[in-house]
């Protein structure tokens, strides 16, 4: 009896202890996710950056009126319920959904949207350069608490595509922290003034940020979600890959070298999400500098690059050939255009037809720190040497290269890099690369000029009729390819490493799957 | 009073030296190719938009005007705002300072605790096998480039043996920040997992940074000890029958350390202001990495901020070394 009592007492103590432990550690049930990011999070200001490297801040802490989602990317109403466009294509009126709240509990109002647009234009950073081509300061109006109206300076069919970049900030909160007319800039670099699915709980510019689920987000949460997300800057590919294999991280960027992707494929706890992205690698040919102002010389260069060899031998077949200046998986691509192939005989014929003679070494430039651009430049130089042309390989850091590419006089003969997705519209590629009005920006460093192409791109930019736009882009692409304005190599594939037990990852070429509200553990 | 006079004299030199340093860095950072304004304006910015932002940032004004504006701001204690991080430079530097201090302290502790005893041993057994071996090591320490040594250590200890992490300062966020020194903060938070993680992260960069410093200390201590050993005072101490350990570690070492202390001070300054290479190799988030990133991004204010920091550190350390020398060796006190 004594033993039985003692046993019962012990069992009771044990049960109480277990219950207390369970009550004391509710955090153990909370789900956590760590993403190892190759770029650092120098600033949390959603209006100061427009790059893919820091997109997690914008997608998780902030909301816009519309949001790009999935692949092919589709625009979804987000803070806005709907919108209307005036007949002349100049006025866009957005109706905001009711009940959306900022992280401090304040309601998201039309005035916040207006203030955010003005803030972007005033700071002149991030997406300002894109928006400033369409809207002027003080032209946006909050018609009532839930209606905001943008009036464009000229018709621009890409306006809606750019609207997701107007990340809405809490104007009342930022006004409180405003200092010397900085629009709350100094404060916002390290703080959160958003309404996004997650709210900031810790930030260190050197390390990254931690955010907790915002239960009050306007978009209802599903039955499963991640409670806490952490985005950490881990510079080295190898460290990120090792961390994924060891289970320290549950996600990392999807543009790793292919040998690292192979290592991750072998890891039992990692899965690779494979998607065709929208990121074209290309050589910009300086069309204004002799002898590259001769179309036959440009065509010869286009025939001299070993596209298949580069893909198969160097990139292990990890990319898709993209022969035109629009990503294969986007509308506006002329499907009948096959582009150029590696054909040295044709290249020689083109050189023979050329009026201009190539009597000096061709400068082939690539980006310091991006080994794949060096490999591409070497493949190009190899092809050109087989044609008997001398080459000179040079490399520059990106800031220096951007500086050089402002003018035809300083831009290299050939320079290779990628054109990424800032918004999923053909204008992001062919429009910004081959309209002569774009000269001076890095995308337009071909310095291509053809009045007919300008005309077609203007039509495509102004029209709100998708069919008209599509035909105009197709026609423009045919001409640019025919005239070998540049050398388009491939469209990138995304090989996103994620923990095997994660579900709900929604890849989009704009967000690269880093919008975490959809993701959960099995 | 004499020390005060020394301080004032040094301070009088401090300002023109810093101004000269600033002027040189200012000109160099602006004449090298690269346009930070184009970068922060964004990839899609037109030349007109870039120019508008340049005007807004005041970078369109003549260089002398920009320089005077910068120095005026600096006098008011404002180091400007980073073009890239958009935060005040002082905040950026302050957030990275603890990492550099922790690394420097670890490297200095390592090199002092090992370097000075080795220097003494090397002198006591002069021309022995041990002395020759130490000479080879110290010459290597001075000759081997730290970026090479760092990479070799990474290959061996992180990649092959897997004993240490490859780079970085910690996995994730540190315990609650008190001092910013992760080892100290993790002890204060009683977080031993964080402590051991911080220690393993610190080991390789500290060893890389310590190696040349250690070599310098061994050589200076050895030379100092040899010099003092031949003096009459040591002969007298031997004649008095003092134990050898007392003679060596109390009398010889104290007299021999004058030049070593100078070196420790200078090394500390060098490491604190310029562990640029080691920090870059190990992706150590300190002042050195910040300087490199600022240079790469042509972040003018970042580069200038680093220059002010490095220049000030060197000058302060020089004064402190002079004062410390005076305490150790009365002959070195300012007259």
pLDDT 10s per residue in chain A (522 long)? Answer: 445 555 555 555 444 444 444 444 444 468 999 999 988 888 899 998 888 888 999 999 999 999 999 988 899 999 999 999 998 889 999 999 999 999 999 999 999 999 999 999 998 888 888 899 899 999 999 999 999 999 999 889 999 999 999 999 999 999 999 988 889 998 999 999 999 999 999 998 888 999 999 999 999 999 999 999 999 988 778 888 988 998 889 999 988 888 889 999 999 999 999 998 899 999 999 999 999 999 999 999 999 999 999 999 999 888 999 999 999 999 999 999 999 999 999 999 999 999 998 999 999 999 987 888 999 999 999 999 999 999 999 998 877 888 889 899 999 999 999 998 888 999 999 999 999 998 988 899 999 999 999 999 999 998 988 999 999 999 999 999 999 999 999 999 899 999 999 999 999 988 888 999 999 998
Q: What is the pLDDT of residue A119?
A: 97
Q: Do A239 and B165 touch (CB under 8 A)?
A: yes
For residue B99, give the chain A residue with the closest CA.
Answer: A206
In a domain, B200, yes or no: no
> What SS3 state is found at A481?
helix
CB A141 within 8 A of CB A148: yes
Q: What is the pLDDT of residue A218?
A: 96
Does B85 lie at the interface with A, CB-CB under 8 angstroms? yes
Is residue B142 domain-shared with residue B11, that is, in the same domain? no
d(Cα A227, Cα A29) in Å, to the nearest integer? 9
Cβ under 8 Å to A: B residues 175-204: none
Is residue A305 domain-shared with residue A166, that is, in the same domain? no
Does A483 lie at the interface with B, CB-CB under 8 angstroms? no
The token pair at A305 is 């690059």
- B168 CB neighbours in chain A (<8 A) are 234-235, 239
Q: Cis omega (within 30 of 0) on the bond before B300?
A: no
| CATH number, residue A158 | 3.40.190.10
Is residue A291 domain-shared with residue A202, that is, in the same domain? no
Does A75 lie at the interface with B, CB-CB under 8 angstroms? no
In a domain, A66, yes or no: yes
Is residue A211 domain-shared with residue A84, that is, in the same domain? yes
| CATH number, residue A347 | 3.10.105.10
Is residue B122 domain-shared with residue B238, that is, in the same domain? yes
Is residue A347 domain-shared with residue A437, that is, in the same domain? yes
Q: What is the pLDDT of residue B315?
A: 82
Location of structure tokens 């997992």: B193
In a domain, A475, yes or no: yes
Q: How confident is the model at residue B10 (pLDDT cuts 50, 70, 90)?
A: confident
Q: Do B38 and A403 touch (CB under 8 A)?
A: yes
In a domain, B22, yes or no: yes
Does B80 lie at the interface with A, CB-CB under 8 angstroms? no
Is residue A509 domain-shared with residue A486, that is, in the same domain? no
Q: Which residues contact A372 (CB under 8 A, 6 or more apart)?
A: A257, A281, A314, A315
Is residue B19 domain-shared with residue B124, that is, in the same domain? no
Q: Do B173 and A207 touch (CB under 8 A)?
A: yes
Q: What is the pLDDT of residue A11?
A: 55
Does B38 lie at the interface with A, CB-CB under 8 angstroms? yes
For residue A203, give the chain B residue with the closest CA.
Answer: B173
Does B58 lie at the interface with A, CB-CB under 8 angstroms? no
Q: Do A406 and B167 touch (CB under 8 A)?
A: no
Is residue A85 domain-shared with residue A228, that is, in the same domain? yes
Is residue B68 domain-shared with residue B212, that is, in the same domain? no
Q: Which of B15, B47, B75 corresponds to the end of one domain? A: B75
Q: Do B86 and A45 touch (CB under 8 A)?
A: yes
Q: Do A130 and B44 touch (CB under 8 A)?
A: yes
d(Cα A181, Cα B268) in Å, to the nearest integer? 41
d(Cα B251, Cα B231) in Å, to the nearest integer? 11
Backbone angles phi, psi at B222, to 5 degrees: -60, -50
pTM: 0.80
The token pair at A201 is 């709980």
Q: What is the pLDDT of residue A35?
A: 96
In a domain, A21, yes or no: no
**A&B contacts, CB < 8 Å:** 128
- A126 CB neighbours in chain B (<8 A) are 42
In a domain, B306, yes or no: yes
| CATH number, residue B104 | 1.10.3720.10
> What DSSP string describes B42-93?
-TT--HHHHHHHHHHHTTTS-HHHHHHHHHHHHHTT---B-TTT-SBHHHHH
In a domain, A254, yes or no: no
Query: Apex CA B155: angle with CA B197 and CA B167, to 5°?
Result: 35
Is residue B67 domain-shared with residue B96, that is, in the same domain? no
Is residue B123 domain-shared with residue B37, that is, in the same domain? no
Q: What is the pLDDT of residue B199?
A: 94
Q: Which domain holds residue A440?
A: 276-494
In a domain, A243, yes or no: no
Q: Do A202 and B95 touch (CB under 8 A)?
A: no
Nearest to A397 among B41, B47, B296 (CB): B296
Produce one character per residue of A154-184: b if its CB has 16 or more CB atoms within 10 Å, e if not: ebbbbbbbbbbbbbbbbbebbeeeeeeebbb
Q: Do B172 and A404 touch (CB under 8 A)?
A: no
pLDDT at B323 over 80: no
Q: Do A186 and B298 touch (CB under 8 A)?
A: no
Choose from A191-205, B31-45, B61-75 the range with maximum mean pLDDT: A191-205
Q: What is the pLDDT of residue A2?
A: 46
Q: Do B85 and A404 touch (CB under 8 A)?
A: no
Rg, Å, chain A Cα set: 26
A414 to chain B, closest Cα gap in Å: 19
Is residue A187 domain-shared with residue A335, that is, in the same domain? no
Is residue A462 domain-shared with residue A505, that is, in the same domain? no
Q: What is the pLDDT of residue A10?
A: 52
* Number of domains within chain A: 2
Query: Apex CA B300: angle with CA B298 and CA B304, to 5°?
Result: 130
Does A442 lie at the interface with B, CB-CB under 8 angstroms? yes
Tell me the Ramachandran region of residue A124: left when phi exceeds 0, alpha when psi lies from -120 to 50, beta otherwise. Answer: left
For residue A229, give the chain B residue with the closest CA.
Answer: B172
d(Cα A458, Cα A436) in Å, to the nearest integer? 11
pLDDT at B198 over 80: yes
* Number of domains within chain B: 2
> What DSSP string describes B235-257?
HHHHHTT--HHHIIIIIIHHHHH
Partners of residue A321 on adjacent β-strands: A490
Is residue A330 domain-shared with residue A410, that is, in the same domain? yes
For residue B98, give the chain A residue with the closest CA.
Answer: A206
In a domain, A271, yes or no: no
Q: Which domain holds residue B31?
A: 2-75
Cβ under 8 Å to A: B residues 91-150: 92, 95-96, 99
Question: Looking at per-residue confidence, does B235 or A419 come out higher?
Answer: A419
Provide, rounded to the nearest whole percent, the portion of chain B with pLDDT above 90. Answer: 19
For residue A230, give the chain B residue with the closest CA.
Answer: B172
Nearest to B172 among A190, A232, A239 (CB): A232
A184 to chain B, closest Cα gap in Å: 11
The token pair at A454 is 């300008």
Is residue B68 domain-shared with residue B117, that is, in the same domain? no
- B170 CB neighbours in chain A (<8 A) are 207
Q: Do B33 and A396 touch (CB under 8 A)?
A: yes
DSSP element (H, E) containing A198: strand A198-204
Q: Residue A66's closest CA among A53, A76, A51?
A: A76
**Chosen from A46, A119, A122, A403 to mutate, greatest number of chain B CBs within 10 A:** A403
Partners of residue A9 on adjacent β-strands: none
In a domain, A269, yes or no: no
Q: Do B34 and A400 touch (CB under 8 A)?
A: yes
Q: What is the pLDDT of residue A21?
A: 42
Is residue A164 domain-shared with residue A312, that is, in the same domain? no
Q: How confident is the model at residue B333 (pLDDT cuts 50, 70, 90)?
A: low
Q: Do A441 and B95 touch (CB under 8 A)?
A: no
């Amino acid at each position: 009896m004594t033993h039985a009592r003692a046993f019962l007492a012990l069992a009771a103590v044990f049960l109480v202890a277990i219950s207390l432990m369970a009550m004391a550690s509710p955090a153990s049930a909370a789900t956590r996710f760590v993403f190892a990011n190759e770029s650092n999070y120098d600033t949390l200001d959603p209006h100061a950056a427009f790059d893919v490297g820091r997109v997690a801040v914008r997608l998780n802490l902030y909301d816009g009126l519309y949001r790009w989602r999935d692949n092919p990317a589709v625009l979804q109403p987000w803070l806005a319920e709907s919108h209307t466009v005036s007949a002349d294509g100049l006025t866009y009126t957005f109706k905001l959904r009711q009940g959306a709240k900022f992280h401090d509990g304040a309601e998201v109002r039309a005035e916040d949207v207006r203030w955010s647009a003005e803030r972007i234009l005033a700071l002149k950073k991030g997406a300002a350069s894109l928006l400033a081509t369409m809207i002027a300061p003080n032209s946006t109006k909050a018609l009532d608490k839930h209606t905001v109206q943008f009036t464009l300076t000229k018709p621009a069919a890409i306006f809606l595509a750019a609207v997701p970049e107007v990340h809405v900030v809490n104007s009342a909160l930022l006004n409180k922290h405003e200092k010397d007319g900085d629009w709350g800039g100094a404060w916002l670099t390290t703080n959160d003034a958003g309404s996004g699915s997650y709210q900031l709980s810790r930030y260190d510019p050197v390390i990254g940020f931690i955010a907790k689920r915002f239960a009050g987000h306007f978009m209802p949460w599903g039955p499963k979600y991640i409670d806490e997300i952490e985005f950490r800057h881990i510079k080295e590919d190898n460290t990120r890959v090792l961390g994924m294999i060891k289970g320290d991280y549950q996600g990392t960027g999807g543009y790793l070298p292919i040998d690292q992707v192979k290592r991750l494929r072998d890891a039992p706890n990692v899965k690779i999400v494979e998607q065709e992205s929208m990121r074209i690698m290309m050589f910009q040919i300086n069309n204004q500098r002799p002898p590259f102002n001769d179309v036959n010389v440009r065509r010869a260069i286009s025939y001299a690059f070993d596209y298949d060899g580069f893909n198969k031998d160097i990139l292990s077949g990890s990319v898709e050939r993209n022969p035109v200046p629009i990503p294969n998986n986007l509308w506006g691509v002329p499907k009948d255009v096959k582009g150029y192939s590696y054909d040295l005989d044709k290249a020689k014929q083109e050189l023979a037809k050329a009026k201009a003679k190539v009597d000096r070494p061709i400068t082939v430039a690539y980006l310091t720190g991006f080994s794949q651009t060096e490999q591409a430049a070497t493949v190009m130089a190899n092809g050109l040497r087989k044609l008997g042309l001398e080459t000179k390989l040079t490399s520059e850091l990106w800031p220096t290269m951007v500086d050089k590419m402002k003018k035809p006089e300083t831009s290299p003969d050939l320079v290779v890099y990628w054109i990424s997705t800032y918004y999923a519209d053909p204008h992001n590629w062919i429009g910004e690369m081959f309209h002569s009005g774009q000269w001076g920006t890095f995308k337009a460093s071909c310095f291509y000029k053809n009045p007919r192409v300008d005309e077609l791109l203007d039509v495509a930019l102004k029209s709100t009729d998708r069919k008209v736009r599509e035909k105009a882009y197709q026609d423009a692409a045919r001409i640019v390819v025919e005239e070998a304005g540049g050398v388009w190599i491939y469209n990138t594939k995304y090989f996103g490493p994620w923990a095997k037990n994660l579900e709900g990852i929604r890849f989009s070429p704009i967000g690269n799957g880093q919008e975490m509200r959809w993701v959960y553990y099995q | 009073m004499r020390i005060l006079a020394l301080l004032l004299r040094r301070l009088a030199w401090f300002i023109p030296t810093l101004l000269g340093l600033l002027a040189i860095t200012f000109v160099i950072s602006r004449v090298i190719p690269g346009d930070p304004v184009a970068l922060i304006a964004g990839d899609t910015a037109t030349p007109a938009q870039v120019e508008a932002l340049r005007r807004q940032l005041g970078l369109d004004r003549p260089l002398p005007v920009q320089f005077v504006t910068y120095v005026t701001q600096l006098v008011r204690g404002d180091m400007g705002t980073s073009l890239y991080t958009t935060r005040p430079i002082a905040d950026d530097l302050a957030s990275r300072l603890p990492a550099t201090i922790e690394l420097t302290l670890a490297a200095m502790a390592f090199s002092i605790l090992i370097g000075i005893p080795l220097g003494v041993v090397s002198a006591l057994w002069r021309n022995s096998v041990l002395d020759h071996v130490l000479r080879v090591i110290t010459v290597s320490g001075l000759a081997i480039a730290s970026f090479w040594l760092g990479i070799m250590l990474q290959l061996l200890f992180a990649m092959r043996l897997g004993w240490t992490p490859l780079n970085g300062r910690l996995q994730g966020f540190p315990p609650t920040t008190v001092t910013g020194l992760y080892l100290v903060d993790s002890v204060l938070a009683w977080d031993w997992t964080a402590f051991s993680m911080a220690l393993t992260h610190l080991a390789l960069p500290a060893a890389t940074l310590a190696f040349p410093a250690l070599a310098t200390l061994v050589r200076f201590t050895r030379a100092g000890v040899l010099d003092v050993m031949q003096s009459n005072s040591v002969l007298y101490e031997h004649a008095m029958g003092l134990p050898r350990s007392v003679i060596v570690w109390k009398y010889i070492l104290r007299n021999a350390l004058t030049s070593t202390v100078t070196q420790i001070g200078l090394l500390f300054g060098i490491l604190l202001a310029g562990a640029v290479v080691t920090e870059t190799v190990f992706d150590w988030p300190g002042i050195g990495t910040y300087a490199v990133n600022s240079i790469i991004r042509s972040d003018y204010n970042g580069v200038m901020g680093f220059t002010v920091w490095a220049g000030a550190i060197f000058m302060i350390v020089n004064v402190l070394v002079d004062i410390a020398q005076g305490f150790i060796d009365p002959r070195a006190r300012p007259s």
